[in-house]
Structure 1
Amino acid sequence: MVGDGYSWLWNNPVTREVARCPKRFGDLVWGSNHHWSGGHQVAKQVSEKVSEVPVNMLNIPSYARWFVRLAGISGASAVALGAYGAHVFYRRDYPEELKQVYETANRYHFLHTLALLGVPLCRRPKLAGTLIFTGTAIFCGTCYFYALTGSKNIRQYTPYGGMLLIAGWLAMVL
């Protein structure tokens, strides 16, 4: 019903696209009759539809769950290193180039930590997770090392970490 105060919802282009989705998804979101039917009815329909999700969709292999744990450790270390950068490293009198390298390392560290969370949903989680984790360790590790020490002797390995990250993202497609 458009005149019930929810017309903004139906005029939204995203809402229209969701309503055109396959019947199961549309029913899950909007109810089987595709009009606002009240909070309790919608909540009940959503809970009923969610309970119909096939069990094998929620069954993640145990070896893939390790990447979620690694993402937890990686995320915690990214936050700690980000805090160190903000409260200690950036306040010191280091060259601007080293501060930018540290910022890049921390940004990539965070982004690829989030990517590790998606690894269990891939067809080949071992391959994608190993490539992303190793690439993150090499790319970000060499950038952190260079930023903190100013020593360029390990910087030669940074591109290899970047190539592993690219390969990891592509492995998520397989």
Structure 2
Amino acid sequence: MNHRWMVLWGATLGATGVAAGAFGAHGLKNILLPSSLNVWEIGVRYQLIHAMMLLILFALAQLLDSRLIPRAAQLMAAGTLCFSGSLYLLACTGSKWLGPVTPFGGLLLIAGWLTLLYVGLKIRKMA
């Protein structure tokens, strides 16, 4: 099965995460309040962590025959978009309607990690 999309999403999230980090450090530091800049930085951190995780999941999908690895990657990609994306918007706009989106993204990220945990529990011990 072709899981190329995991590499594409991982690379896209990684590149845009680095750009968002640089933009926050240089373009927003004199515009946003320190509390909003902190929110921005949390979004960048989670985006970069999960960008790398998508690349790791791609490698894992090459080694293990599990339908759940791509599912974990889908959950993490969607979770990153919701979680980090809502934090970026919240930092820049202060819009309170984004409140429920961030925890929903967090739940998607947790679901992705728990899906991966399930995959790990199903791996037979190597002799």
Aligned position for 1:104: 42
Q: Give the gaps of 5 or more residues in structure 1.
A: 1-60
Alpha-carbon distance in 2 for matches of 1:72, 1:96: 29
Aligned position for 2:56: 118
Map Cα deviations across residues 95-142 of structure 1 (whole Å, 9 max, x no partner): 221111001000001001011111221432221111000000000010
SS in 2 for 1:172: helix
Two-structure CA RMSD over aligned residues (Å): 1.2
Aligned position for 1:131: 75
Alpha-carbon distance in 1 for matches of 2:56, 2:112: 12
Alpha-carbon distance in 1 for matches of 2:26, 2:38: 15
**How high is the sequence identity, in percent, across the aligned residues?**
38
Equivalent in 95, 100, 119 of residue 151 of structure 1: 95
Equivalent in 65, 72, 83 of residue 22 of structure 2: 83
SS in 2 for 1:106: helix
Alpha-carbon distance in 2 for matches of 1:73, 1:145: 19
Aligned position for 1:140: 84
Following superposition, the deviation at residue 153 of structure 1 comes to 1.2
Greater RCO (CA < 8 Å, at least 6 residues apart): 2
Alpha-carbon distance in 2 for matches of 1:142, 1:155: 8
* Aligned pairs, number: 112
**Runs of 4+ off more than 3 Å:** none
Q: Give the gaps of 5 or more residues in structure 2.
A: 120-127
Map Cα deviations across residues 79-108 of structure 1 (whole Å, 9 max, x no partner): 11111101111122x222111100100000
Larger Rg: 1
